[in-house]
Structure 1
Amino acid sequence: MEGTKVLIGDDDPNVCEIIRLYFEKQNLHVLEARNGEEVLALMEREKPDVVLLDVMMPGKDGFEVCREIRQRWDVPIIMLTAKDDEVDRVLGLELGADDYVTKPFSPRELVARIKAIFRRMDRQAKAADDGRPHLVFPRLEIDGRRRVVLVDGKPVPLRPKEFDLLLFLASSPGTVFTRDELLEQVWGYDYFGDTRTVDAHVKKVRQALKAIQPPCIQTVWGVGYKFEVPGDGGMET
């Protein structure tokens, strides 16, 4: 964590100052932007390690900036929301945010959430080094080691957590997992979000694999989700 470069996008100078003062005591390097355009400019120039985005920024709001960042960079994003609004949380997650924090919050909580994100990333990297399954289904191939998904032989881009969710479900075809089980297995014990996070990521995976119908991630109403490709149990290589 020490030396981590954190970009804060928030038009409230008081919020930025409180965060900056606490983060600097933790030996974190802080960059500040007051609007969406400044955030994107700093992304290009400074290549931060993590981004904190206020939803209600002037000009391009946090959602639009989150979308643009996801199109160009693979960096953890935490959304800062002014109210505990489910719509804001779900929209942010669907656009690719990794977590969200509701104002008012403490800088200490933000640091804890950043640490949790980096712990998850470390676990994922170690798991990849240990080897992951190579799963083959009709029209769909999931290479766990190279973290590549192919549909009809063509690569399909997925965010890291979307890939992890798909790989976990596909490794146990037909098995039904509750949302809490998926949070535990894919996100880890230290995840701060809620079960709507799973729904948002399932939606994104389905959109990415929309060429395959019916969807291979199926909803089991009242329970959770399962992976199933009709007529095939898959093959691990």
Structure 2
Amino acid sequence: MLVEDDHSISEMVDHYLTKEGFGIVHAFDGEEGIRLFQQGSYDLVLLDIMLPKLNGMDFLKIIREKSNVPVLMISAKDGDVDKALGLGFGADDYIAKPFSMIELTARVKAAIRRATQYSAEEPAVNKVIRIHQLAIDIDNVSVLKNGEPLQLTSTEWQLLCLFASNSKKVFTKEQIYRSVWNEEYFDDQNIINVHMRRLREKIEDDPSSPQYIRPFYYESVLVSR
């Protein structure tokens, strides 16, 4: 789904992504987008922030109440505040206007790939990693804390699996980005930091004093058993 009120941008994105094999459903304001989202099933939402009738942030909050579908935010505002705000509401990635269609396509494919890995269930040998109060079920893609399920986005799940599967190993931000996003790292620490903050808010008793994923010299993180 593409929710974008600029018809020229919408047409350009539709033309390019259609050639890449994607089927696109358009909405030109937030209210229309919500209606179409509730009526269908989508692999990803491309969402502009500045929309008529219902802005992108409010749109995102509404769909996050019931869905973990990957959301790629689009905006002409390229400040760190806007990025943090968008990701803090549950977006999976962010791209600023003007953008290249090659970059957009790469980000779309990466987000769908991460979500596919997140949702795939492999009922083979059940592998559960237990760290303090957390039970991380790798095969069934679920996390329990004190027996209660946690709702993670696909990116949060990939981060948690990376750390839990490499307990007490230190990662640089470049290593984290390459492992989870599968892309070249261009020192965009904000995306990693926001996702890490959201993950800590869900798994830690006190996110300001983390016990599971600890900062290390302000450059790396590790998981403590």
Deviation at 1:57, TM superposition (A): 0.9
Name the TM-score, length of structure 2 as normaliser.
0.86
2:219 alignment counterpart: 223
Aligned partners of 1:129, 1:100: CA distance in 2, in Å?
Answer: 33
Which residue, out of 68, 72, 75, partners 2:69? 75
Deviation at 1:203, TM superposition (A): 0.8
- The answer as to 2:35 corresponding to 1:33 is no
Distance 1:70-1:126 versus aligned 2 partners, 3 A rule: closer
Give the letter for the 1:114 counterpart.
V
Name the TM-score, length of structure 1 as normaliser.
0.82
Which residue, out of 160, 169, 172, partners 2:163? 169
After TM superposition, the structure 1 stretch with the greater mean CA deviation from structure 2, 163-172 or 14-23, is 14-23
Which residue, out of 59, 79, 84, partners 1:85? 79
Q: Please give the residue correspondences for 1:5-154 in structure 2 after superposition, counting only pairs within 5 Å.
A: 7-122=1-116, 133-154=127-148
Indicate if the aligned counterparts of 2:174 and 2:187 stay in contact, CA closer than 8 A. no
Indicate if the aligned counterparts of 2:30 and 2:52 stay in contact, CA closer than 8 A. yes
Aligned partners of 1:112, 1:147: CA distance in 2, in Å?
Answer: 25
Instruction: Give me the identity figure in percent.
Output: 33
Distance 1:34-1:223 versus aligned 2 partners, 3 A rule: same
SS in 1 for 2:130: strand
Give the number of aligned pairs: 223
Deviation at 1:103, TM superposition (A): 0.7
1:201 alignment counterpart: 195
Unaligned runs of 5+ in 2: none
Distance 1:104-1:170 versus aligned 2 partners, 3 A rule: same
SS in 2 for 1:101: strand
Deviation at 1:65, TM superposition (A): 1.2
Two-structure CA RMSD over aligned residues (Å): 2.6
SS in 2 for 1:69: helix
Give the letter for the 2:136 counterpart.
I
Deviation at 1:158, TM superposition (A): 1.1
Aligned partners of 1:28, 1:118: CA distance in 2, in Å?
Answer: 11
Deviation at 1:138, TM superposition (A): 2.5
Deviation at 1:73, TM superposition (A): 1.8
